[in-house]
Each structure stands twice: as C-alpha cells, then as structure tokens.
Structure 1
Amino acid sequence: MTVYANRFSGRAAVITGGASGLGKETARRMVAEGAKVALWDLNADALKAAAEEVGASFTYALDVSDEAQVAAATAASVEALGKIDVLVNSAGITGATVPVHEFPLDSWKRVIDINLNGLFYCCRSVVPHMLGAGYGRIVNVASVAGKEGNPNASAYSASKAGVIGLTKSLGKELAGKGVIANALTPATFESPILEQLPASQVEYMRSKIPMGRLGEVEESAAMVCFMASEECSFTTAATFDTSGGRTTF
C-alpha cells in the first residue's frame, strides 16, 4: 500500500460497510493518511475488530436500510468526529443468484433496501453537514453490474444501476457548492461478499474481465481514496472504473 502522507490530515470520514472488504481497506488507508474515521456496519462484532485493526476513531452498528438508524448514526458520528468531510457508501449485499422469474421477493426487497435505499438515506443525512461546511466528498460504490447487468443477479444489477443514476443527479445538484459526489464501478474483486455467491457466478464474472483475473481490494481502495481527497476537485457526477478493462465507459 502506497501511503500519501497527511493527504487526509484534519479530515473526518464515515465509511459504511466498514467492517470488511473495501470499506475496511479504505478505512485502513485513510487512517494511515491522517483521517479520523467512523465505521458503520450491521455486524457489531466484526465492526469492533475492524476498528481495532485499522485504527478507526468511532464505530456505529446499524442497518442502513432503516432511515432512523442512519439519522442517529450521523448525529453520533458528527458528535464523535466533530464533522463529516467524507462519506464512502460501501455497504452492500448480493442477494439471490437466480433468474428474474424465480427471484424471491424478500431477497429483491432486501437488496434494494440496503444497496440503494440505504445509500440514499446516508447521502440524505450527511449532505446537509457538508453543505454547512462548504466542503465534502461522497463516494458511492456501484459496480460494473450496474452498467452491463449480470445474468441471475437482477436485484444487484438494478440496485447498482440506481446508485449510478442517483450519483449523477446528486453530483449535479451539489456542483459549485464545494461538495463532490462520484461513483466507483469495480469489477469483481477479492472480498468477503463473494462468499454470498456460487463459484459458477464468480467464475462467470472473472471470465468477463479482459485482464483475466479478479481485482484486489487494495486497487479499488486506492481509487476511492483519490475520489475522497481534495485532489478530486473538477470531476463530479461521474463514474470511476476499476474493472480490468471490462467496462470502458
């Protein structure tokens, strides 16, 4: 991991899905680069362990699909950190791996509630604090599935397409106000979320990547940290690709 000394000095970040995968790796890097970080996650035990591992300043266990819990987490994080300069929305689930006509309704609703509605609640709750300060960086983790669609993953693909659309709208709303919002569209990378998928689905996604391999979580974390930094100053309402060549738009 290449560390840029003090890139986030004086900055406070909230990272959802912070107990594992991309959220935890992003937190590790931001802390190393000077940020105070609050981790949000549903898994309280994993959250505590992750905070100790990466040096996070604050944790909050919640279900992001519950708007009231998101509002409470935002208030608690502002009190603990003093402000929120950066929001990284990394919480997400895959849902069932079946064709549309067989898709369980409860799985569909849960994926949309976490991946899209939950992300909306987080943005809605945190943006006013950024506008008040005249500065903010929002990174919404989408997926190449939101651009191309993956077979037997309709809920996940639809939710991530929604994230891209929401980010484009949000970024344009906030342009000129000191707050920048962009989406990350990674291809499949090594992460605990792959445990939710059958091996055949993972292999299908690997086969679509021209580089012939899955990504590494550190590669996407590096991109997130650029997107979350002051250096990302003239790009908003956009998508940043980490897909090994799978998507080029």
Structure 2
Amino acid sequence: MGCSTSTSKFPPGHYSPCKNARLRFRPVHRDATPADHQDPDPGDDHPASRYEPVADGAPLLLSPPDALEEDHVIEPLHVRADARPRPDFLAGTKGFAIGGADADPLSGRTFETVDPVTGQPLATLGAAGPADVDAAVAVARRAFEDPAWAGIAPFRRTQLMLEVADVVETHAEELAVLESLEMGGPLTQTRWMIGHCVEVLRNHAGWPTKIYGRTAPAPGTQLQYTLRQPLGVVGAIAGRNGPLLQVSGL
C-alpha cells in the first residue's frame, strides 16, 4: 500500500514497507455501504491515484480524483501498525553523532517520532537544544580548521567523498526503509531518493579538482585574482521529507 505525506501521484501496485500490502482502489457510491461492493483490482490505468497525509489511522485516500464521477468516492485504505517493518536500528534512544562519537542531549530531553502512516511511535530521539548545536558547531569548526582536513589534497577529497557514496550505496535498502518509515513515502520513492543521494555525492566528489579562481584586470605592478573558499560552519535544520537526500546536497 503506497503511503505518502504529500499530495502526489503513483500508479497502482506500488509497494511501501507495509508487508504484503498492494495498492488497490475501490469506487463506492455514497449511498451504499462497502459491503455492497466487490473489491476489484482496477489496473494501471485507473484514475484513482491521489494521496494525502495519513495520521492516527486516518484514510490513505481522502479525496476523490477529478476523473471519477461525482457520485463516487474512494473507500479509505488503512495500514496495520504490526504490518510495518521494525529495523533493529530503531531500538533504544538515539542521540547525536558529534565529532565521530555518540552524544546524549545535554538537557536530557527526548521525544518520540511517529510513523505518519499509522500514527504509532517509531523511535525515541534526543531533543537537541542550543547547547547541543553549539557543541556540534564547535567540533565541526575545529575539524574545518585542522590541517588534517583543511590540508588534504583535492584529489584525496574526491576519493573520500566517493567512499561515502559507496557506503550509502551498500546500505541503500536499509536507508530506504528508514526514510519511508520516517516520512511515510512509498518504498519505491525512497529507494529512488537514496539512489539519487549516491548520484549527488558522486557528482560532488568530482568538484574538488575542478574549482578554480580567476585573475582580474590590474595594473602591471599588481596581481589581482579571485579565490573560492568555504565560508565555514553553520548549524542547519534539514526537512524530514527525505533528509538524507537533502544533506547530500549541502
């Protein structure tokens, strides 16, 4: 059963992490009960392909497509919480990764993130506050200025970024499932997103050896030029709608 947190279109038969759940549509007359109708499989050309947010067991299909007659509505589809996968990664409380090490929130506060398809708790996460952001930025700033990174040759930076892309590709299925559970997107969609994340990382990996400055017109006694340099370190909030893909593009 396809699951999405935004209005979009996917053809029937798309699968999400919902186990053994196939996307199906059933037009139902408003003046009839569901028991009065059979449950046909309409095929790929069926017009019912609209999705809207799902929460707390709400219907998956909430509004009838324009292509259907006005006296028809789409019967709600639901996903059982026990039909959703539970990767081992979700166990326990998840804190932060700062300076290559696990870190707990300095405030000790946590919160539950919710599976938008079922409305059920998905995992317990640390709640970051200003002090946690400052700590992460400070560590990142030290790494940014450290010759161990700042002095790396451009070609070596390319190699390291390609290694990151290889790791993401190796764990693509696991990451796609986690992305689907977190944001409610169909697994077919999140698989594409993780694949595109790998493409973005490999594209960026080619840039360290291709960033040039320019010389500017100047008097004969001067040499004027531009030099591209990174601005530094910031704390940013990435959207939950495909966070890994968004981070890969930063």
Give me the TM-score of the superposition, normalised by structure 2: 0.25
Say which structure is richer in helix: 1
TM-score when scaled to structure 1? 0.25
Q: Radius of gyration: which is bigger?
A: 2
